[in-house]
Amino acid sequence: MSTPLHSILAEKGWDVITVLDTDPLARVCETLARHGVGGAPVLDGAGRLVGLVSERKIVEAVALHPAGLGALVARDVMAANMPVATPDEDSLNTARRMTRTHCRHMPVVDNGRLVGLVSIGDLVKYRIEHAEHLAEELQNYVSNSGHASVKVSGI
């Protein structure tokens, strides 16, 4: 059984660092660095999600424009046709789609409105914490069941 994204976002937080499609690339880079994130949804002037800018897309822009990046804006380097998820989507399905599409960040959209962002790191962190919690529960169950084995050293 997997967990819906809204449960992961409730733990992580619903705040999303965004940039505008007209933001100069230098401002986009500064925003990502200041917030310690590797990607951000790109919004148009009306606040609609139009793309996603990521470290990967910025590196591609550097490679394609060795003479300078000064004239580039977020719209020039963003991925425009990125996959999106809904708050009720199963997190394992989201992780599979992210892996299949080589995307490390997925906007979460509800009724056409950006409500969150999950990264592959968010999903891995949740799965690790869930696995550790499950292992602890199993250990407690076995220890308290009267069927626990005892290992005697030196025999």
Two tokens at 48? 């609609």
Within a 10 A sphere around the Cβ of 4, how many other Cβ atoms?
17
Order the strands of the 39-43 sheet from edge to edge: 19-20, 39-43, 49-54
5-60, pLDDT tens digit by residue? Answer: 999 999 999 999 999 999 999 999 999 999 999 999 999 999 999 999 999 999 99
17-26, pLDDT tens digit by residue? Answer: 999 999 999 9
Say if CB 80 and CB 100 are below 8 A apart: no
pLDDT, residue 139, reads: 78
Contacts of 26 (CB under 8 A, 6+ apart): 69, 70
79-124, pLDDT tens digit by residue? Answer: 998 899 999 999 999 999 999 999 999 999 999 999 999 999 999 9
Q: Kindly list the domain boundaries of the chain, sorted by start residue.
A: 5-143
Superfamily of domain 5-143: CBS-domain (3.10.580.10)
